[in-house]
């Protein structure tokens, strides 16, 4: 993988040169440098493991009433859903019915 020296975008190869799709910057390819690059060509995909039936060990829980089934225990996690300069949003997942809601939902 190669990145543009001018704008930092990822570049693609065309006829022996690296070409930036964003600004059009071009530079020649170097076989010695490219030998050390890691590519996905020839790599095997890892086995997909189904964890849907696994217990949710390790996730933090809290006392929070589920609006759907009135269970009083939920897993929680934080996620950035707005701009980076705004605070994260806390999500809850009911330990019984797996209903998902945000902290600010009413």
- The response to whether 7 counts as a known ligand-binding position is yes
pLDDT tens-place values along the chain, 106 residues long: 688 888 888 888 888 888 998 898 988 887 777 777 666 666 666 677 666 665 555 678 899 999 999 899 999 988 888 788 888 888 999 999 999 998 876 4
61 is in an annotated binding site: no
Q: What does 63-103 look like in DSSP terms, one character per residue?
A: E---TTT--SEEEEEEE--S-TTS--EEEEEETTT--EEET
d(CA 54, CA 46): 19
Is 60 marked as binding a ligand? no
The architecture (CATH level 2) of 61-102 comes to Single Sheet (2.20)
What's the pTM?
0.44
Domain layout of the chain by residue ranges: 1-37, 61-102
Cα 13 to Cα 22: distance, rounded to the nearest angstrom: 13
């Amino acid at each position: 993988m190669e990145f543009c020296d001018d704008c930092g975008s990822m570049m693609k190869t065309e006829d022996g040169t690296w070409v930036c799709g964003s600004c059009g910057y071009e530079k020649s390819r170097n076989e010695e440098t490219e030998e050390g690059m890691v590519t996905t060509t020839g790599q095997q995909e890892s086995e997909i493991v189904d964890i849907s039936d696994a217990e949710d060990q390790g996730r933090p829980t809290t006392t929070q009433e589920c609006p759907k089934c009135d269970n009083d225990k939920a897993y929680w996690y934080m996620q950035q859903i707005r701009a980076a300069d705004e605070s994260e949003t806390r999500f809850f997942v009911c330990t019984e019915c797996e209903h998902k809601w945000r902290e600010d939902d009413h």
